[in-house]
Amino acid sequence: MIIRRMFLGMSAALVGASLLMVADPATSQAEEELKIGFVYVSPVGDAGWTYQHDLSRLELEAQFGDRVSTTIVESVPEGADAERVIRQLAADGHGLIFTTSFGYMNPTIKVARQFPDVTFAHCSGYKRADNVSTYLARFYEGRYLTGVVAGSTTESNVIGYVAAFPIPEVVRGINAFTRGVRSVNPDAEVRVVWISAWYDPGKEREAAETLISQGADVVTQHTDSTAIVQAAQDNGVHAIGYHSDMSRYGEEAHLTASTHVWDNYYVETVNAVLAGEAESTNVWGGLADGMVELSAFGPAVSAETQAIVAERQAAIVSGDLHPFEGPVLDNEGTERVPAGRSITDEELLSMDYYVEGIQGRLPQ
Amino acid sequence: MDGMDTALAILVGTVRAGTPLVFAAIGELIVEKSGVLNLGVEGMMLVGAVSGFIATVLTGSPYIGILVAIGAGVLLSLVFGCLTQLLLTNQVATGLALTIFGVGLSAFIGLDYVGTPITGLRPIAIPVLSSIPIIGPLLFNHDLLIYMSVGMVALVTWFLYRSRGGLILRAVGESHDAAHALGYSVVKIRFLSIMFGGGMAGLAGAYLSLVYTPQWAENMTAGRGWIALALVVFATWRPARVLIGAYLFGGITILSLHVQAHGFDVSSHLVATLPYIATIVVLVLISRDATKIRLNAPASLGRPFHPGA
Q: Strand B124-125 vs strand B141-142: parallel, antiparallel, or unpaired? A: antiparallel
How confident is the prediction along chain B (309 residues), in pLDDT tens digits per residue?
Answer: 467 788 888 898 999 999 999 999 999 999 999 999 999 999 999 999 999 999 999 999 999 999 999 999 999 999 999 999 999 999 999 999 999 999 999 999 998 888 787 877 878 878 888 788 777 777 787 888 999 999 999 999 999 999 999 999 999 999 999 999 999 999 999 999 999 999 999 999 999 999 988 889 888 898 899 999 999 998 899 999 999 999 999 999 999 888 888 877 777 778 888 888 888 888 888 877 888 888 888 998 988 888 765
In a domain, B195, yes or no: yes
Chain A nearest-CA distance from B210, in A, is 12
Helix (H) / strand (E) containing B125: strand B124-125
The total number of residues shown for chain A amounts to 364
Domain at B222, CATH number: 1.10.3470
Provide the 10 A C-beta neighbour count for residue A32. Answer: 8
Answer whether A227 touches B (CB < 8 Å).
yes
Chain B nearest-CA distance from A11, in A, is 9
List chain A residues with CB under 8 Å of B269.
Answer: 196, 363
Query: Domain limits at B278?
Result: 19-115+137-296
Q: What are the Cα distances from residue B150, in Å, to A99, B204, B230, B234?
A: 47, 13, 19, 19
**Residue among A47, A207, A230 whose CB faces B214 most closely:** A230
ipTM of the complex as predicted: 0.82
The residue type at A281: T
List chain B residues with CB under 8 Å of A14.
Answer: 96
Q: Is the pLDDT of residue A120 over 50?
A: yes
Q: Do B219 and A199 touch (CB under 8 A)?
A: yes
Cβ–Cβ under 8 Å, residues A354 and A171 = yes
List chain B residues with CB under 8 Å of A213.
Answer: 5-6, 9
Q: Do A361 and B268 touch (CB under 8 A)?
A: no
**Residue among A9, A207, A360 whose CB faces B103 most closely:** A9
Contacts of A355 (CB under 8 A, 6+ apart): A175, A178, A179, A328, A329, A330, A331, A336
Touching B: A residues 287-316, CB under 8 Å: none
Answer whether A230 touches B (CB < 8 Å).
yes
Higher pLDDT, A239 or B213: A239
Task: Quickly state the pLDDT bin for A287 (edges 50, 70, 90).
Answer: very high
In a domain, B176, yes or no: yes
**Residue among A191, A193, A201 whose CB faces B213 most closely:** A201
Q: Strand A238-243 vs strand A96-99: parallel, antiparallel, or unpaired? A: unpaired
The residue type at B185: S
Taking only the tens place, the pLDDT of each residue in A7-64 is 333 333 333 333 333 334 444 444 579 999 999 988 888 788 999 999 999 999 999 9
Q: Which of helix, strand or coil describes residue A221?
A: strand
Nearest chain A residue to B251, by CA: A206
CB pairs under 8 A between A and B: 125
Report the distance separating Cα B167 and Cα B154, nearest Å: 16
Helix (H) / strand (E) containing A260: strand A254-260
Chain B nearest-CA distance from A359, in A, is 6
Q: Do A201 and B224 touch (CB under 8 A)?
A: no
Q: Find how far residue B269's CA is from the centre of its chain.
A: 26
Report the distance separating Cα A199 and Cα A236, nearest Å: 24
Domain A139-259+293-349: which CATH number of 3.40.190.10, 3.40.50.2300, 3.40.50.11900, 3.40.50.720:
3.40.50.2300
Instruction: Fill in the DSSP letter of residue A299.
Output: T
**B291-298 CB contacts, 8 Å cutoff, 24+ apart:** B292/B236, B293/B236, B296/B236, B296/B237, B296/B238, B297/B236, B297/B237, B298/B32, B298/B33, B298/B34, B298/B35, B298/B170, B298/B173, B298/B174, B298/B237
C-alpha radius of gyration, chain B, whole number: 20
List chain A residues with CB under 8 Å of B40.
Answer: none
**Residue among A9, A43, A209 whose CB faces B100 most closely:** A9
Q: Which of helix, strand or coil describes residue B70?
A: helix
Cβ–Cβ under 8 Å, residues A269 and A275 = no
The residue type at A190: V
In a domain, B9, yes or no: no
Q: Is the pLDDT of residue A307 over 50?
A: yes
Q: Do B222 and A201 touch (CB under 8 A)?
A: yes
Q: Which of helix, strand or coil describes residue A70?
A: strand
Answer whether B220 touches A (CB < 8 Å).
yes
Question: What is the count of structural domains for chain B?
Answer: 1
Q: Do B17 and A206 touch (CB under 8 A)?
A: yes
Nearest chain A residue to B2, by CA: A214
In a domain, B130, yes or no: no
Q: Is the pLDDT of residue A5 over 50?
A: no
Nearest to A325 by CA among A310, A306, A312: A312
Q: Do A213 and B6 touch (CB under 8 A)?
A: yes
Report the distance separating Cα B128 and Cα A192, nearest Å: 38
- Residue of B219, B249, B266, B274 to mutate when probing chain A, most A C-beta within 10 A: B219
- Residue of B105, B257, B264, B274 to mutate when probing chain A, most A C-beta within 10 A: B257
pLDDT at B210: 93
pLDDT at B2: 66
Nearest to B176 by CA among B27, B304, B81: B304
Q: Find how far residue B8's CA is from the centre of its chain.
A: 24
Nearest chain B residue to A204, by CA: B213
Q: Do B100 and A361 touch (CB under 8 A)?
A: no
- Residue of A11, A213, A230 to mutate when probing chain B, most B C-beta within 10 A: A213
State mean pLDDT over A156-161.
Answer: 96
- Residue of A18, A203, A206, A331 to mutate when probing chain B, most B C-beta within 10 A: A206
**CATH 3.40.50.2300 residue ranges for chain A:** 2-137, 139-259+293-349
Answer whether A225 touches B (CB < 8 Å).
yes
* Pure H helices in chain B: 2-33, 41-59, 62-81, 91-109, 135-139, 144-162, 164-174, 176-181, 186-206, 224-234, 239-261, 268-286, 290-296
Nearest to B97 by CA among B83, B87, B111, B107: B83
Answer whether A352 touches B (CB < 8 Å).
no
Nearest chain B residue to A229, by CA: B213
Tell me: domain A2-137, CATH 3.40.50.2300, correct? yes
Q: Strand A34-39 vs strand A68-73: parallel, antiparallel, or unpaired? A: parallel
- Residue of B121, B212, B215, B229 to mutate when probing chain A, most A C-beta within 10 A: B215
Answer whether A254 touches B (CB < 8 Å).
no
List chain A residues with CB under 8 Å of B254.
Answer: 206, 210
pLDDT at B205: 97
